[in-house]
Amino acid sequence: MYSSKYAISVKGLVKRFGSFTAVNGVSFEVKKGELFGFLGPNGAGKTTTIGMLTTLIGKTAGSATVAGHDVARQQNEVRQNIGIVFQDPSLDDKLTGRENLDLHGMLYGMPKGERRERIDMILDLIELKDKQDVLIEDYSGGMKRRLEIGRGLLHEPEVLFLDEPTIGLDAQTRRKIWDYIKRLNREHHITIMLTTHYIEEADYLCDRVAFVDHGKIIALDTPDALKDSLGGDVISLEFSGDAESMRKRLRSTRWVKNATVHEGVMDLSVRNGERRIPEVMAVAEKEGVKVLSVNLHKPSLEDVFIHYTGSSIREEEAGGADRMRTAMRSRNR
């Protein structure tokens, strides 16, 4: 057992693929027993960061330790102390659930008796004891994900990495996996770091969230603190035409903390939002902006992301994917 209170410590981590910088000097720490999230669009650098922390990808610069071991100089020790659930499925469909776990235990050099005992424990934990002898090809998507998480825990790792753990699952199954991950963290005190581009997933699961965009951490705090940082309510106005003059005018008023425009919607961060709506509408009329609808709500993590980047995670998705494809093409030349 390592003595530091941090399960993960990262300082100035950088990863370049040719001329493309996928991870650009990120620094953060994850406490033992914490459920920590990396939230951002595809191509933001989340999976690349996980790759470096799990020793699957070499770093370009910076330093990182996982479970007290340096990811560059102590790769074997790091691997012995982590579990990984990859974004893409990695189970053998022609083996049963128990056989997949047994194969994983053998790869980690676990003695036969210890493997059997741990497999029984894991199957109970992930509630798949009654499906242990069923072929993986006959498992549902949620069952496969639970087995992958259980496999990652088989050798009793200090840290579990989950890379987009619910991608491709339907909403109902996704929620079940969320509850399962939260129970693992709370009841078994397992340190978990997950990457996600689902706003609701990060908000529901994580003790702290790091917003990641263009390879950098742009904000890091608890979900509640991030939402509170916007200062009160959010008034969302759907409009037609050009609203830049209206945005500038509202931004200059003392009661508007921030004003952003994206996809034909203007978001205003204000206090006492219900009292400010008539004033906002008066400004819109004066600036000749046609308002199609008005919505008042408490800030969400999506609002926070828009505040820091000027665009939603959905808008960032295409750009992030394009940047990653360009990087991989240049790497393969």
Mean pLDDT over the full length of the chain: 90
Provide mean pLDDT across the span 259-273: 90
What's the whole-model pTM score?
Answer: 0.82
Residue 325: its pLDDT value, please? Answer: 45
- Cα–Cα distances in angstroms (integers) from residue 212 to residues 49, 250, 300, in the given order: 10, 28, 16
Q: How confident is the model at residue 328 (pLDDT cuts 50, 70, 90)?
A: very low
- Single-letter code of the amino acid located at 324: M
Provide mean pLDDT across the span 56-81: 96
In this structure, what token pair is assigned to residue 23?
Answer: 């991870």
**Helix, strand, coil % in the chain, rounded to nearest 5:** 40, 30, 30
- Single-letter code of the amino acid located at 25: G
Q: Which domains does the chain have, with CATH numbers?
A: 6-226 (3.40.50.300), 231-298 (3.30.70.100)
Instruction: Give one DSSP letter per residue of 86-105, joined into a string.
Output: -SS--S-TTSBHHHHHHHHH
Percent above pLDDT 70 for the chain: 93
Tens of pLDDT along 191-215?
A: 999 999 999 999 999 999 999 999 9
Task: Return the sign of the alpha-carbon dihedral for residues 111, 112, 114, 120.
Answer: positive
In this structure, what token pair is assigned to residue 63?
Answer: 């330093």
| 139 vs 142: CA distance, rounded Å | 8
Question: Is residue 165 over pLDDT 60?
Answer: yes
Residue 2: its pLDDT value, please? Answer: 62
User: Could you tell me whether strands 265-270 and 233-240 are parallel, antiparallel, or unpaired per DSSP bridges?
Assistant: antiparallel
| 15 vs 48: CA distance, rounded Å | 8
Tens of pLDDT along 78-116?
A: 999 999 998 888 899 999 999 999 999 999 899 999 999
Question: Is residue 62 over pLDDT 60?
Answer: yes
In this structure, what token pair is assigned to residue 129?
Answer: 């004891």
Tens of pLDDT along 172-193?
A: 888 989 998 998 899 889 999 9
Burial (CB count within 10 angstroms: exposed 0-12, middle 13-18, buried 19+), residue 256: buried
Question: Is residue 319 over pLDDT 70?
Answer: no
In this structure, what token pair is assigned to residue 274?
Answer: 């219900």
